[in-house]
Structure 1
């Protein structure tokens, strides 16, 4: 499983960045959403992004962000990718790609088979897809809720037009099963490596990444 790529999202400290990078994470994510316990300021995100080693993809997670908000984020923080985690339309995805010249990852919430057609729709416009558990009705957060969905819904579906990433309720104990059941080559974790909401646990980051990459010990 050495070809698996890991994204650790919602990082907020220099130790988080160092641990994720040393563990072998391919992506580090910064959350720009005020309701989230993982939210970071532009100033803090800029400092954290500067600490990420070359070759580690720096991702900004936003939720239905306006152009002015995205202007501020992209001006302040050296980024490699934008992650759209709200209800952005395919047209909005296309607009953001054109405006900022950065690859765009679109998150898609899945609860049952009726949600699957969204994957094909967004694969036509996004550079990558993040397949997450659909948040509960009236949830404050569109992701990072620690919820999983039925991975069997994705079994055998390897022919989407874009690279995709499995998210939603993954932990060091479940990530191998998620990879096995879905055939994904990329996984995303946030709450599954935390000791409290918004507080990353260094040992859990190491354990998750080790499990995902198929490393012993």
Structure 2
């Protein structure tokens, strides 16, 4: 049984579907190149529809302080997700400056990528273990790619972590069984088209994960 984060929500009915299905985390994307991008104004509207007890997560890619300040002035976020190439020092700086828990995404393609999880685990509150994006990819995540979950078998980190990358209702139970993940993150795996969430796919995913 795992908690679920549904990322990249852009419409009220999809927030309602995620909440109704039992998601524990709701994610809003503030990366303008993403098909899941939402403006701070829209995200503020959606965030107000998330009941207490469900974490509202804002996804940023290599942000300066200014966009973080702009979003936080309007959107009541509970967690900042950093999904770019932010250094460990930058993660710590953002965490201290903005006073919110920080989740750091780390792309994994092979064993050599796992060391970064230790480094970021010293400064982040949560780790997101995701599939490493291809070198020519526009998006750092949400590409529907998986990595070899066997790389995580038997591994422990001091920091809580969640699993992402190519998950769907068809494979999430197996991913949880192999890795021991207690939280899973999905975006493209519950979409009928890029950026278009499907309420029934959301319900199936949460059911399969729990």
Counterpart residue number, 1:197:
194
Matched, 1:110 2:108: yes
Runs (4 or more) in structure 1 with deviation over 3 Å come to: none
Gaps of 5+ in 1: none
d(CA) in 1 for partners of 2:151, 2:18? 29
Matched, 1:172 2:169: yes
Gaps of 5+ in 2: none
Counterpart residue number, 2:127:
129
CA drift of 1:170 comes to: 0.1
d(CA) in 1 for partners of 2:69, 2:118? 28
d(CA) in 1 for partners of 2:137, 2:15? 28
Counterpart residue number, 2:207:
210
Deviations 1:1-39 (A, max 9, x none): 2xx110000000001111101100000000000110000
d(CA) in 2 for partners of 1:53, 1:15? 14
CA drift of 1:138 comes to: 1.3
Matched, 1:11 2:29: no
Question: How many residues of Structure 1 are paired with residues of Structure 2 in the alignment?
Answer: 210
CA drift of 1:74 comes to: 0.9
Counterpart residue number, 2:61:
63
Counterpart residue number, 1:99:
97
CA drift of 1:156 comes to: 1.0
Q: What SS does structure 1 have at the residue aligned with 2:48?
A: helix
Counterpart residue number, 1:185:
182
d(CA) in 2 for partners of 1:160, 1:137? 27
* CA-atom RMSD in angstroms: 0.5
Counterpart residue number, 2:87:
89
Deviations 1:139-168 (A, max 9, x none): 0000000000000000111x3111000000
Q: What SS does structure 1 have at the residue aligned with 2:116?
A: helix
d(CA) in 2 for partners of 1:156, 1:16? 35
d(CA) in 1 for partners of 2:63, 2:78? 17
Counterpart residue number, 1:31:
29
Normalising by structure 2, we get a TM-score of 0.99
Deviations 1:101-148 (A, max 9, x none): 000000000000010100000000000000000000110000000000
